[in-house]
């Protein structure tokens, strides 16, 4: 029980958003919460761990759980991400399954739908990115997906423009079970801000680095100090696998790391509402993807194989 919730008639519940990489789960979570609590990129496999975002709609508190995209994993890190995504679904009160309407029923969506019967939690279908597909293609997709899995309802939305997001949120608010709120009414995230700050820098890496490099890097906030006049001094380490990758992250004359640091610093400053001095260090740690310590920092279980 927390303070400041309505005295009676409250509802509360966990809603996990699952789907193939790039379906728009993180974009939707931010739209539902009304604030950026999880990072987004054009590349696949951006989200690596469960990220909760909290919203209030009427007397309901909705705790949305962003999950990594579900795909056929190869590396240990991939396996940890996919296992985590499914665990997020199993632990929720309701699961929203996102399908990128532009891609339709491709292999990854099919595989996810086929495994949904194992998830003994009520499910809804969310067709996303309707801003970029003709309306009439949505009916066939709705039917195809509902033939493969049991959904309580289907929503057609654009997480990007916000089209349909309000309706979805109101429906979810009414659907949650009666119960007290888990978080204070104004709380939007349960993650420590230094973790969000590391994610923001990782988002800038995803924006600026190409091909496989983003997948061979991870970011940790090492130090977070408030200075006398209220400024923040933040130190982060970017881990890469090889010296050649470190050189690319640094860029010619340090240009790339400078641009990444500048973009991240601005955004972190907005969130903490203070002047931020951000120091980025790039370290080569061969095989960090096999190092349990890195998984702990990411909030992932370390898979045994
Ligand atoms: N046109 C359009 N693009 C969208 C929409 N929703 C998300 N996107 C874009 O799709 C891309 C992927 O979005 P994310 O929110 O990062 O997708 P995700 O499902 O969280 O991806 P992973 O974390 O990699 O699994 C980004 O470029 C978004 O801007 C939408 O409704 N319409
Ligand atoms: Mg994501």
pLDDT tens column, 97-143: 999 999 999 999 999 999 999 999 999 999 999 999 999 999 999 99
Please work out whether the CB of residue 24 comes within 6 Å of at least one atom of ligand 1.
yes
How far is ligand 2, taken at its centre, from the CA of residue 115, in Å?
20
Tokens 């974009």 appear where?
A: 27
How far is 158 from 161, CA to CA, in rounded Å?
5
How far is ligand 2, taken at its centre, from the CA of residue 24, in Å?
7
Backbone angles phi, psi at 14, to 5 degrees: -100, 125
How far is ligand 2, taken at its centre, from the CA of residue 66, in Å?
7
Average pLDDT, integer, range 205-226: 95
Average pLDDT, integer, range 182-198: 95
Q: What is the DSSP string of 154-195?
A: EEE--TTT-TTHHHHHHHHHHHSPB---SS-TT--B-S-HHH
For residue 84, what is the enclosing H or E element? helix 76-90
Beta bridge partners of 156: 127
Encoded tokens for 60 = 């309901």
Residues in contact with 62: Cβ distance below 8 Å, sequence separation at least 6, in sequence order: 12, 13, 15, 32, 54, 55, 56, 169, 172, 173, 176
Q: Which bound ligand lies closest to the C-alpha atom of 45?
A: 1
What is the pLDDT of the chain when averaged over all its residues? Answer: 96
**Residue 294: DSSP 8-state:** H
pTM of the entire predicted model: 0.97
Average pLDDT, integer, range 66-76: 97
Beta bridge partners of 98: 19, 126
pLDDT at 4 over 90: no
Cα–Cα–Cα angle for 172, 173, 179, nearest 5°? Answer: 120
Torsion sign, CA atoms 77, 78, 81, 84: negative
Give CA torsion, residues 111, 300, 66, 232, to 10 deg. Answer: -150
pLDDT at 71 over 70: yes
| Burial class, 212, CB count within 10 angstroms (exposed 0-12 / middle 13-18 / buried 19+) | exposed
The residue whose CB lies within 8 Å of the most ligand 1 atoms, and thus the one to mutate among 17, 19, 36, 40, is 40
How far is ligand 1, taken at its centre, from the CA of residue 279, in Å?
29
Cα–Cα–Cα angle for 239, 204, 26, nearest 5°? Answer: 105
Residue located nearest, by CA, to atom 27 of ligand 1: 42
Please work out whether the CB of residue 158 comes within 6 Å of at least one atom of ligand 1.
yes
Nearest to 98 by CA among 35, 34, 149, 38: 149
- What tens digit of pLDDT does each residue of 235-248 get? 999 999 999 999 99
| SS3 state of residue 272 | helix
Check residue 96 and give its pLDDT: 98
**Residue 40: DSSP 8-state:** -
pLDDT at 1 over 70: no
Check residue 6 and give its pLDDT: 84
């Amino acid at each position: 029980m927390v303070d400041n919730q309505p005295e009676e008639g409250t509802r509360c519940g966990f809603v996990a958003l699952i789907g193939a990489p790039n379906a728009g789960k993180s974009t939707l979570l931010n739209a539902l919460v009304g604030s950026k609590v999880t990072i987004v990129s054009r590349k696949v496999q951006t989200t690596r761990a469960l990220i909760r975002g909290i919203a209030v709609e009427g007397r309901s508190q909705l705790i949305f759980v962003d999950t990594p995209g579900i795909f056929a994993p190869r590396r240990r890190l991939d396996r940890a991400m996919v296992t985590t995504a499914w665990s997020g679904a199993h632990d929720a009160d309701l699961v929203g399954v996102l399908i990128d309407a532009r891609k339709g029923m491709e292999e990854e969506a099919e595989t996810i739908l086929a495994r949904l019967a194992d998830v003994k939690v009520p499910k809804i279908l969310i067709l996303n990115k309707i801003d970029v597909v003709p309306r009439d293609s949505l009916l066939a997709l709705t039917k195809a997906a509902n033939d493969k899995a049991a959904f309580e309802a289907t929503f057609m939305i654009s997480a990007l423009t916000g089209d349909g997001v309000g309706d979805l949120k109101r429906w979810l608010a009414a659907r949650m079970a009666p119960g007290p709120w888990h978080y204070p009414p104004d709380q939007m995230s349960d993650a420590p801000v230094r973790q969000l700050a590391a994610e923001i820098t990782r988002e800038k890496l995803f924006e600026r680095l190409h091909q496989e490099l983003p997948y061979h890097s991870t970011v940790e906030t090492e130090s977070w100090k408030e200075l006398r006049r209220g400024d923040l001094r933040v130190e982060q380490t970017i881990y890469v696998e090889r010296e050649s990758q470190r050189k690319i992250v640094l860029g010619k004359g340090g240009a790339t790391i400078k641009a990444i640091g500048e973009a991240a610093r601005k955004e972190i400053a907005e969130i903490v509402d203070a002047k931020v001095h951000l120091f980025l260090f790039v370290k080569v740690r061969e095989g960090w993807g096999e190092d349990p310590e890195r998984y702990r920092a990411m909030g992932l279980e370390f898979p045994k194989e």
